[in-house]
Homo-oligomer: A and B are copies of this chain.
């Protein structure tokens, strides 16, 4: 192995060690991440960090990207682990539980990507792509169910009293396009609804809104996700 790539490998290890330390700081300080504190923990002088990240914002961006990808990977793995691909409700529960478990295991990173935005920080475009990974899995499960003929398209009367307006249908079309799935409006709408319900539940649990109210958190979550599965028709 040429010497140059050794240097590159050491460099990559340093980058990931800095991110690891920064992640552990997120847990206590939230998004008020301090470069100096990270450097201190690594036994370096604060200016040394600038060899690896051009600024605090760049480090934050890296952490946000990693978080989206870690969550996305966890959800993909959970769905992929379901042997019988035609058991759509099982896949749905596996994927949504993976979101909850990842969030509970990494609360600070979850807050970084799904909590209130960091003041004065604007996420670059890259993060938007990574953010799509998780919803893509959820929609794929729905699309598979629809393709298998399990889910009703909703054309029959009585399934959806309030029809989406033209503007909403345009948004649904955008989603259909960007995720490249062939689903009728009603199911895309339900997918978004379920997506909101999923993250709404996780955020409420993590951010303390369920305190003194919902104590059987795991069971309640399953109940909610089953309700959404009922709605979608799995």
**B32 and A117 contact, CB distance less than 8 A:** no
**A28 and B165 contact, CB distance less than 8 A:** no
- A220 interface hit (Cβ, 8 Å): yes
Q: How many subunits of this chain does the assembly comprise?
A: 2
Chain B residues near A29 (CB-CB < 8 A): 119-120
Chain B residues near A213 (CB-CB < 8 A): 171, 174-175, 178
- A193 interface hit (Cβ, 8 Å): yes
Interface size for A (C-beta < 8 A) is 55
Q: Mark A190-222, 1 if CB is under 8 A from B, else 0.
A: 001100110111011001110111111001100
**A193 and B224 contact, CB distance less than 8 A:** yes
| A134→B220 CA distance, assembly (Å) | 21
**B219 and A167 contact, CB distance less than 8 A:** yes
**A162 and B227 contact, CB distance less than 8 A:** yes
Q: Which of A1-9, A70-78, A108-116 contacts B (4 or more CB under 8 A)?
A: A108-116
Known contacts A162-B230, A170-B215, A171-B216, then 4 further A-B pairs from the complex at CB < 8 Å, ordered by chain A residue: A30-B118, A32-B32, A117-B208, A200-B201
Which 4 A-B pairs rank lowest in CB-CB distance, beginning with the nearest? Answer: A200-B200, A115-B116, A167-B216, A30-B119
